[in-house]
Amino acid sequence: MRGDGLLHCSKKCVQLDIDCPHNDCKHWIDYPKENNCTLVSINQNGSMTLRQIAERLQLSFARIKQIETKALIKIRKHTTSLNSFF
């Protein structure tokens, strides 16, 4: 990864304007508008709304919101336990 946040294969897909053929990659999503790559998505769009994320992951807005809420709870819990450690 370089300063632009893209892997070599992502850069190649963008340059050749092709969809990523590596559907076993952890960055692969079924979203051909952005070369099937989460890294390309983020690089091209920057911050995205939950609705935009839901569209790219083919999940409902409600499900993305549930995931976000659960992740924030885990982060807060982890932060609280770290604060008590110090």
Give average pLDDT by consecutive 10-residue segment, the chain, 86 residues.
Answer: 76 92 93 94 94 96 98 90 68
Rounded-to-integer distance, Cα 41 and Cα 30, Å: 11
The encoded tokens of residue 60 equal 């409902």
Rounded-to-integer distance, Cα 38 and Cα 70, Å: 21
Largest CA-CA distance found in the chain, in angstroms, rounded: 51
Say whether pTM exceeds 0.85: no
